[in-house]
Amino acid sequence: MPAKKDARKSPGSTSSDATPRPVPQSKQPAETSGELHREIRRPSSAWVDNLLMPALAVFTGLVVGGLIIAVANDAAITAWGNFFQNPVAAIKASWDAIIQAYSALFGGALGNPADIVAGFQTYFATGQTAGLYKAIYPFSESLVLTTPYIFLGLAVALGFRCGLFNIGAEGQFFMGALGAAYVGYSITTLPWFIHLPLALFGGAVAGAIWGAIPGYLKAKFGAHEVVNTIMMNWIAFRLSDWLLNGPMKAVGYRPVTSTVEATAELPRFFPDPLRLNWGFPLALVFALLVYWFLFKTTLGFEVRAVGANPDASRYAGMSVMRNFVLVMTLSGALAGLAGATQVLGTDHWVGQGFSAGYGFDSIALALLGKSHPLGVVLAALLFGILRGGATSMQSLARIPIHIISVIQGMVIIFVAAPAIIRWIYRLRIGTAEQTVLTRGWGK
Amino acid sequence: MAEQTQAAIMSKPNRQRLGTGLTLVIAGLLMLVLFVRGTQSGQTATFGMNTGGAALMIPDLVLPVQPTLYTLIVVTVFLGAWQLARGGIRSTGWLLVIVSFCFVAAFLIWATKDGSFNLVGMLNGTLGRAIPIALAALCGVISERAAVVNIAIEGIMLIAAMTAVISATLAHSLVVGLLVAILTGAVVAALHAVLVIRFKVDQIVSGVAINIFGTGITSFISSRYLESNIDVLNNSGTFKVMSIPLLSQIPILGPIFFEQGPIVYIALLLVAVLHVLLFYTPWGLRTRAVGEHPKAADTLGINVFLTRYVNVIIGGMIAGIGGAYFTIGSVGRFDQNMTAGKGFIGLAAMIFGKWNPIGAFLSSLLFGFADSLQVKMQILRVPIPSEFLAMAPYIVTMIVLTGIVGRAIPPAADGTPYEKQ
């Protein structure tokens, strides 16, 4: 590209003046040698691509979110109104608004470090647990929120690996929750070691069905999975409205299911206000399983091959259709498990506002985690923290919880367009190539 | 060997023939089981043919329930049996259209037995509900003809719906609201265009990001400002119905097409104008060239990038009008997530309409019909849960996308970024 530009310039320069000509000539070798220099010193680009770029994307997303927080803050707006009298106060008011919001966010998500240390000290000194539990409560809640994010992120990431964009995680999550809840409350006489796996399985099956339908339609008719999974979301919402007001409604006025039997519950680690349960380690186990499936099995290799190049895979004798259906089914099952662990471990019943956008967040999460199970776990932790803190940000700093969606939208854009991040931070390292994630209509 | 291949060639239409034939017969039997059972002889269904004060009143259509149902069933089963026994009806699409019509008609008659149902009112509602879908579809057509997949329509409409109502309330002028909505659509679409054309972001990913951002920012502003200041910010009123003189007096068609709000007329006009622009002007030819074979277009001196920018932004303006329809066109206030997937349904309408403005409009009428029908059915107290009726537009979308009816081929370069060499 630069060579072409120079070639275009040089005729112009010769026609106007002969003297400037040596300058670009002498400049060019210097530039190339600089390029070479950088080539040698360049840190490994995998590090840049997989850690630095996502971190910068999140950071930039938080900065943009901060700007919106500052704009939405009344005190800051009044201070900016008097900008010409007191510019320092205006900037300080905005800065304070951002700091207040984000400290409420992270304080609400991670807890107060001093309290946690004090809690541990009293625990070791006296054996009293009350203070410790109170101090780690926020972090425990963040991990509780991380659990469905891990499952959902794995679901979306698995789809991406096969070149499929599963936006239906939201609906699959909801259906999984309903399936698990149904098995959980309708069967009453089983011992826990049968009932609990059965309830989890019920959730996985419900989610799998919801994922398999768009997968089948994609494989058989080439119907684009993005639109179909969204349609399945809306159908799931309507269906759940009906189920919660009709067949699955518990006795009483509210449109909620009955509470699941104790034999179907995922056990919790700590006494009551702390809701951290076996769902979290289960999610980590599934992250390992997905890693093993994708990178250590023949089937996983096929999935990735189809994702990378369906035509080449078909030529190599793999069934692209079968892989599409398989991946959408597994993806739906993972999303269904997310719903199941949420019901069996955290809520114990399903109500109407149950899903609350987890499925959509998981798209950002899978992109941020580069569709790798380890990346997904780390990104899920971040999103769990963001969401855990968002409620306290809403109550303490009066920032609506939806700011999280704004930040996530920005993060997706920045992750998907590394060129913007490179441009903002003047980065000249890392590879520029991008993988194609999705394909057009009916191809 | 030769016989085998010949058998293979023969067997495919054969299988299709049996398939459609069986589907038709089953549909007929289904109609018998679902709709005839529970009716009594002598029942009638009344269909209203007027809305309000038309000059020429048409008498209501009164149909005897059982004879009409039997006629529809006989037509369906006969067509199915004919297809099974003789084949020969080549156009599966038309067959399915006839059967769907019979099925829907039977359903309507069954639902209105012993009652009355304003058919023209429902069709008027159909057009109203089809308009946002049609505008979304037109946005899709304009972008995708230049090979840019725009899945961000949902987000664009949501943001435009909000800016329309806020600016209309602040300025006390609905026209200002509409103009601001168009501007908003252009800005958000330009963001999508820059991301996918300049930065070569995956087009679907960019669209999804804009949708998530749109949901987030509108919900944020809604709960931070709109909910507490409804009268100052979120109460614009709506465009009044403008009856077109003379034309609105035409029986049946008049009340359906010419007693609507101005946004509906704008949309109808846009359908015609875009069709002419796309197929009969140099701009349209360039657009289609860029969508089919950008490299060839580039060689001929068409600026591929500029064409794509212009088209995506024009599409965004159209989607902005669609967004305005949700607020200042129908209810006069903004609610969170009020677009409810209409942008995506618009994409399905675009595909079903074969990337063609008129086709896109006609197929959005189909979705509008499904939507309008479910609302009216809830009023009629049909013994089907309203939640299931509300699924109808989404299910129709999924069926349409399978391409069983009228499969279409997208522009060849659709969804791929262009690298200038």
The secondary structure of B164-191, three-state, reads HHHHHHHHCCHHHHHHHHHHHHHHHHHH
Contacts of A167 in chain B (CB under 8 A): 208
Pick the most confident of A124-133, A274-283, B55-64, B259-268.
A274-283
Largest CA distance in chain B: 79
Which of B144, B149, B199, B338 would best serve as a mutation to test chain A binding (most A beta carbons within 10 A)?
B199
Cα B168 to Cα B179: distance, rounded to the nearest angstrom: 9
Cα B273 to Cα A305: distance, rounded to the nearest angstrom: 45
- Taking only residues 205 to 234 of chain B, the set having a beta carbon closer than 8 angstroms to any beta carbon of chain A reads 205-206, 208-217, 219-220, 223-224
CB atoms within 10 A of CB B58: 12
**H/E stretch holding B118:** strand B116-118
Ranges of H-type helices in B196-352: 203-221, 230-233, 253-257, 262-280, 282-292, 294-299, 304-326, 342-352
Q: A438–B204: do the CB atoms touch at under 8 Å? A: yes
Cα A211 to Cα A156: distance, rounded to the nearest angstrom: 11
Q: Is A363 on the interface with B (CB under 8 A)?
A: yes
Q: Is A222 on the interface with B (CB under 8 A)?
A: yes
Cα B293 to Cα B43: distance, rounded to the nearest angstrom: 60
Contact B14/B85 with Cβ under 8 angstroms? no
Chain B closest-CA separation from residue A220 CA (Å)? 8
Q: Is A12 on the interface with B (CB under 8 A)?
A: no
- The CA radius of gyration of chain A, in Å to the nearest whole number, is 26
Chain B closest-CA separation from residue A429 CA (Å)? 17
Contacts of A403 in chain B (CB under 8 A): 216, 220
Length of chain B measured in residues: 421
Cα B77 to Cα A187: distance, rounded to the nearest angstrom: 45
Residue of A235, A180, A184, A244 lying closest to A210 (CA atoms): A235
Residue of B118, B300, B194 lying closest to A413 (CA atoms): B194
Q: Which of A234, A246, A416 sits opposite B202 (nearest CB)?
A: A416
Mean per-residue pLDDT, B25-49: 75
Q: What residue of A is the nearest CA neighbor of B393?
A: A231
Q: Which of B209, B390, B398 sits opposite A231 (nearest CB)?
A: B398
| CA–CA–CA angle A365, A369, A372 (5° rounding) | 125
Residue of B370, B379, B375 lying closest to B115 (CA atoms): B379
Q: Please, which residues have CB within 8 angstroms of residue B175's CB and are 6 or more apart in sequence? A: none
| CA–CA–CA angle A106, A109, A114 (5° rounding) | 75
CB atoms within 10 A of CB A297: 11
Tell me the mean pLDDT per 10 residues along chain A, length 443.
40 40 41 43 61 84 85 76 77 83 83 82 82 84 91 93 87 93 88 90 94 90 82 89 84 82 84 86 94 92 89 89 93 94 88 74 84 91 86 80 83 81 72 51 47
Q: A441–B217: do the CB atoms touch at under 8 Å? A: no
- pLDDT for residue A297: 92
Chain A closest-CA separation from residue B404 CA (Å)? 8
Residue B262 has pLDDT above 80, yes or no: yes
Q: Which of A223, A241, A403 sits opposite B220 (nearest CB)?
A: A403
Return the structure tokens found at B26: 């089953």
Question: What's the one-letter identity of residue A30?
Answer: A
Print the SS3 string covering chain A: CHHHHHHHHHHHHHHHCCCCCHHHHHHHHHHHHHHHHHHHHCCCHHHHHHHHHHHHHHHHHHHHHHHHHHHHCHHHHHHHHCCCCCHHHHHHHHHHHHHHHHHHHHHHHHCCHHHHHHHHHHHHHHCCCHHHHHHHHHHHHHHHHHHHHHHHHHHHHHHHHCCCCCCCHHHHHHHHHHHHHHHHHHCCCCCHHHHHHHHHHHHHHHHHHHHHHHHHHHHHHCCCHHHHHHHHHHHHHHHHHHHHHCCCCCCCCCCCCCCCCHHHCCCECCCCCCCCECHHHHHHHHHHHHHHHHHHCHHHHHHHHHHHCHHHHHHCCCCHHHHHHHHHHHHHHHHHHHHHHHHHHHHCCCCCCCCCCHHHHHHHHHHHCCCCHHHHHHHHHHHHHHHHHHHHHHHHHCCCCCHHHHHHHHHHHHHHCHHHHHHHHCCCCCCCCCCCCCCCCCC
Contacts of A101 in chain B (CB under 8 A): none
Q: Is B363 on the interface with A (CB under 8 A)?
A: no
Taking CA atoms, A52 is separated from A49, A417, A422, A429, B101, in Å, by: 6, 14, 11, 10, 58
* Buried/exposed B276-314: b ≥16 CB within 10 Å, e otherwise: ebbeeeeebebbbbbbbbbeebbeeebebeebbbbbbbb
Burial of A315 (0-12, 13-18, 19+ CB in 10 A): exposed
Q: Is A351 on the interface with B (CB under 8 A)?
A: no
**A418-425 vs A403-416: helix crossing angle, rounded to 10:** 90
- pTM, rounded to two decimals: 0.81
- pLDDT for residue A21: 41
Chain A closest-CA separation from residue B362 CA (Å)? 19
Cα dihedral A124→A127→A130→A131 (10° resolution): -30
Q: Which of B387, B410, B416 sits opposite A441 (nearest CB)?
A: B410
Q: What residue of A is the nearest CA neighbor of B347?
A: A227
pLDDT digits (tens, 9 = 90+) for B124-164: 888 888 999 999 999 999 999 988 888 889 999 999 999 99
Return the structure tokens found at B145: 């003809």
Cα A322 to Cα A329: distance, rounded to the nearest angstrom: 11
Return the structure tokens found at A254: 């509210």
pLDDT digits (tens, 9 = 90+) for B303-317: 889 999 999 999 999
Length of chain A measured in residues: 443
- Identify the three-state secondary structure at position B46: strand
pLDDT digits (tens, 9 = 90+) for A8-43: 444 434 344 433 444 444 444 444 444 444 444 445
Q: Is A406 on the interface with B (CB under 8 A)?
A: yes
Which of B213, B339, B345, B418 would best serve as a mutation to test chain A binding (most A beta carbons within 10 A)?
B213
Residue of A196, A177, A178, A175 lying closest to A187 (CA atoms): A196
CB atoms within 10 A of CB A67: 12
Contacts of A412 in chain B (CB under 8 A): 205, 208-209, 212
Q: Please, which residues have CB within 8 angstroms of residue A39's CB and are 6 or more apart in sequence? A: none
CB atoms within 10 A of CB A235: 23
Q: A167–B208: do the CB atoms touch at under 8 Å? A: yes
Contact A344/A265 with Cβ under 8 angstroms? yes
Q: A402–B220: do the CB atoms touch at under 8 Å? A: yes
Return the structure tokens found at A321: 């259709």
- Taking only residues 278 to 337 of chain B, the set having a beta carbon closer than 8 angstroms to any beta carbon of chain A reads none
Cα dihedral B32→B35→B39→B43 (10° resolution): -110
Q: B220–A408: do the CB atoms touch at under 8 Å? A: no
Q: What residue of B is the nearest CA neighbor of A220?
A: B402
Q: Is A161 on the interface with B (CB under 8 A)?
A: no
Q: B204–A222: do the CB atoms touch at under 8 Å? A: no
Q: A238–B201: do the CB atoms touch at under 8 Å? A: no
pLDDT digits (tens, 9 = 90+) for B242-251: 777 777 777 7
Contacts of A405 in chain B (CB under 8 A): 212-213, 215-217, 219-220
- Identify the three-state secondary structure at position B106: helix
Contacts of A360 in chain B (CB under 8 A): 212, 215
Pairing status of strand B61-64 against strand B44-48: antiparallel
Q: Is B397 on the interface with A (CB under 8 A)?
A: yes
Q: B402–A231: do the CB atoms touch at under 8 Å? A: no
Residue B186 has pLDDT above 80, yes or no: yes
Q: A224–B401: do the CB atoms touch at under 8 Å? A: yes
Q: Please, which residues have CB within 8 angstroms of residue B197's CB and are 6 or more apart in sequence? A: B148, B305, B308, B309, B312, B417, B418
pLDDT digits (tens, 9 = 90+) for B83-126: 777 766 666 667 777 777 888 888 877 777 777 777 777 788 88
Contacts of B405 in chain A (CB under 8 A): none
Cα B360 to Cα A339: distance, rounded to the nearest angstrom: 37
Contact A404/A108 with Cβ under 8 angstroms? no
Cα A147 to Cα B207: distance, rounded to the nearest angstrom: 27
Contact B212/A365 with Cβ under 8 angstroms? no
Q: B202–A438: do the CB atoms touch at under 8 Å? A: yes
Q: What residue of A is the nearest CA neighbor of B417?
A: A436
Contact B367/B130 with Cβ under 8 angstroms? yes
Q: Cα B90 vs. chain centroid, distance in angstroms?
A: 27
DSSP B250: S
Contact A264/A273 with Cβ under 8 angstroms? no
How many Cβ pairs closer than 8 A exist between chain A and B?
Answer: 159
Return the structure tokens found at B148: 């840019």
Contact B293/B285 with Cβ under 8 angstroms? no
Return the structure tokens found at A181: 């809840």
Residue B81 has pLDDT above 50, yes or no: yes
Cα dihedral B127→B128→B130→B136 (10° resolution): 140
Q: B410–A221: do the CB atoms touch at under 8 Å? A: no
Residue of A299, A333, A293 lying closest to A319 (CA atoms): A299
- pLDDT for residue B90: 62
Q: Which of A223, A416, A439 sits opposite B402 (nearest CB)?
A: A223
Q: Is A434 on the interface with B (CB under 8 A)?
A: yes
Chain A closest-CA separation from residue B289 CA (Å)? 18
- Residue whose entry in the numeric block shows the structure tokens 């037509």: B75
- Taking only residues 92 to 151 of chain B, the set having a beta carbon closer than 8 angstroms to any beta carbon of chain A reads 149, 151
Which of B192, B202, B375 would best serve as a mutation to test chain A binding (most A beta carbons within 10 A)?
B202
Cα B254 to Cα B256: distance, rounded to the nearest angstrom: 5
Stronger pLDDT, A77 or B361, i.e. the higher one: B361
Chain B closest-CA separation from residue A15 CA (Å)? 26
